[in-house]
A and B are shown apart, each in its own frame.
Chain A
């Protein structure tokens, strides 16, 4: 079953079994080669597993793109500060992102297998899957899959007769965007308010419950079984030197064929939009693209001739992020679009740091005023100045994320702001 659209350019590693309901069951997953990689990994020393993942060049898929093997190697090698924890960040809440949800819905065992391998690699005795509170269906599916692996002796005290014991627990959040930030996630998991912690100390030193902890994204650990099974060089056949492998691209917005497409990193954004997704719907033309989820700067229509890998997107002044591409056609009101995103950040700000708590709400109010025709010329400079005061002055980057689309939209779509402000001014004169 094609899910929901397929394209010949796709390289399906993680998404091979999307749309196959029987792949959700343990038997179905094992028929598809599941848990062979885990058996192989359990026969290896933890450091060997880390080396394989290092050699693959796999980079974190949660947005920052930090090399996974390197991250694992930060964990203490001795067992003096046990237990270690592996947290799987399944709090996918970035507007535009819907890759983890599909991985969890269709291939729960792929995620669990990757998580157990990761836990073995960092000598963790417990894996927590921290799942977004609104993910009812994925939570049911993953919960059932966890029961299955315990019943089959794949997780638990003596996994597959290897003598290694790792527990796995599903934890549902309460629906806060900020809990996808790794330190806020740890706070939430511990039963505290979901507020980011100050770093340092970093999680590999003082993490969940005060113990050494690694946090990995769902898509990251989903790739791990394949890498362990086939080796690092096999994974490097796709993608670029610095951004190897495949990646799920979550395509949304005014496209003909929206959805998840698994493609090698470095794939052309232009081709992705016009070929893979069939172009802009209703015969409209492209106005703007957000390439990596709502937190990253916007690209104008003439800036999309770039390769979708971490370095190339960064060189274009934005970020690959979660590769959640939001495409906007020529009818889009950019001011309204940005205001809605800023509203989201104002709603989701945890409220700890003053620049974020007050700044996000202030930006939203100014933008709404402009949108409603009550804008003033000085508002634009003020928006940029507020954004600057919100950038780099807070514990986490939510504040920066709220300011980024404002700044980039003013830089690239100033005319739309000016039109709204002038319309408001002329209306005022007419009255």
Chain B
């Protein structure tokens, strides 16, 4: 108890008394207490220069308003964020911000998620008083994916500090001074080639930094989306998939202090088009007596499949399953279990590898990993082995998950007795299958990935699958339930995940509740010390 008293201080915030951890800054303490303090230059992942002057709050006894982003909490401190002085300061400062701002919200990509818009609507003056001509700084191409609009810029310098502190690659700086200040690059190539540069668009509180890829693509209020995990390497950055009309249009990082802080790399960020799968398998397809694939209902397809599996099993067929590191633990786990039920056999997966890891120096836990898929560790835990080269044709029962057969020879299926493809996408190889079952992609389903360090993290459906596509765990679960007396299929992804614990001790004790939004380590994993990068 005494210890606890030493670690907290008592403050009064807007008349409410509270004990907060000491060493916090007022803005952080207020956030913990549910009081938002307007800010531009402060970002929890960056140093605080206290220069935007939006977070000025009244601290009783202090002659001047105090910047909440750098002022530490202190015992007995009495803070007012909504006093007349504080409110007047914010209104005054907002007027300064709008003085030279072009107010081109109707054509600005940031409109709708812009802090200048939000704060001005909340607390700004109704009408501007300036009749002076506006300063014009113009636009600049910062290289790579980044455009800079100097007229919209509010000089919070988050982008400059990000490049200096996180990638530790000073590509941006403030040039000139006073009201002539603009952000600029040192050389013509700008931020080109820095894999972390895309983050400056996310942290720009206004529309000054723009993504060329997202430029004029959508109004943000037209976007849907959900929390997910970046599928493009084994780091497992927490992201949000934003979509418009059920097409993914951008990926943005979500904060997770254990994995990616507030950041993600451009390699992952820009690989979202493949989530918008073309050539979808729209319905369960079964090879008919005429030798052609024919669409049918799920019920008929599963019954026919069970019949053929039993026949092949009776013939003592060997089993080959090919997992996918772009599918969740649930999907691959069910696939592995099915292989075991069928007597065991070859279990492989393939993953593309980059030449090297790209570590973020300012947050070394974060790197673009060499394995360019999300669930490599999960597959390894469940007994799949890494294979090189294109999948070779195999005999017996072959079950493939996802579009893992890209690059496989067209006669891949010829030697198989029974070839089952559970996949979202129709390809030449899949066309040779006996059963083509339409699966949702990870982005269309709920599930978990296990990242490079063994952290299991949840993702949620961000896109709508076609009406007849089903999550792979569900398809596999129904098949398995049909193979044993009284077998039941998991009803939800959470159920499917719980079953993994029965089959693999690494997952035992974990559940969706335990994993929560920040993830949980699988059981064989040694906790990495904070800030340690894995390999370099």
Contact = CB atoms under 8 A, between A and B. Distances in A.
Given A355-B53, A366-B132, A346 B92 contact: no
B165 to A, nearest CB: 14
Contacts of B130: 362
A30 interface: no
A198 interface: yes
A354 B93 contact: yes
A317 interface: no
Report the interface size class on chain A. 20 to 34
A358 B99 contact: yes
B97 interface: yes
Nearest to A348: B178
A365 B89 CA distance: 22
Interface string A338-368: 0000000011111111110111111001100
A359 B95 CA distance: 10
B226 to A, nearest CB: 36
B325 interface: no
Contact of B179 (A349, A366, A382): A349
Interface of A: 176, 178, 193, 198, 346-355, 357-362, 365-366, 369, 382, 385-386, 388-389, 392-395
A388 B91 CA distance: 12
Contacts of A394: 53
Most buried by A among B49, B50, B53, B178: B178
Contacts of B135: 361
B184 to A, nearest CB: 13
Contacts of A385: 92
Nearest to A346: B178
Contact of B177 (A176, A358, A362, A392): A176
Contacts of B177: 176, 178, 348-351
For the complex of A and B, the 3 pairs showing the least CB-CB separation, nearest first, are A389-B92, A358-B96, A349-B178
B179 A352 contact: no
Nearest to B177: A351
Nearest to B100: A358
Interface residues of B, number: 34
B51 interface: yes
A134 B518 CA distance: 57
Contact of A393 (B49, B92, B174): B92
Contacts of A198: 49-50, 67, 70
A354 B96 contact: yes
Interface of B: 49-54, 56, 63-65, 67, 70, 88-89, 92-93, 95-97, 99-100, 129-130, 132, 135, 154-155, 174, 176-181
Nearest to B92: A389
B56 A393 contact: yes
Which of the listed residues B52, B53, B99 has the most CB atoms from chain A within 10 Å of its own CB? B53
Indicate the member of B54, B92, B135 with the most A CB atoms within 10 Å.
B92
Given A351-B174, A357-B179, A362 B51 contact: no
A362 B92 CA distance: 13
Contacts of B88: 389
Nearest to B85: A392
Contacts of A369: 132
13 contacts: A198-B50, A349-B177, A351-B177, A351-B178, A352-B49, A353-B53, A354-B51, A355-B93, A366-B132, A389-B89, A393-B53, A393-B56, A393-B64
Contacts of A351: 155, 174, 176-181
Of listed B54, B92, B93, B177, residue having the most chain A CB within 10 A: B177
B96 A392 contact: no
Nearest to B99: A358
B64 to A, nearest CB: 5
A389 B96 contact: yes
A357 B155 contact: yes
Contacts of B64: 392-393
A361 B132 CA distance: 10
A347 B178 CA distance: 6
Contacts of A365: 132
A175 to B, nearest CB: 11
A378 B482 CA distance: 83
A369 B154 CA distance: 25
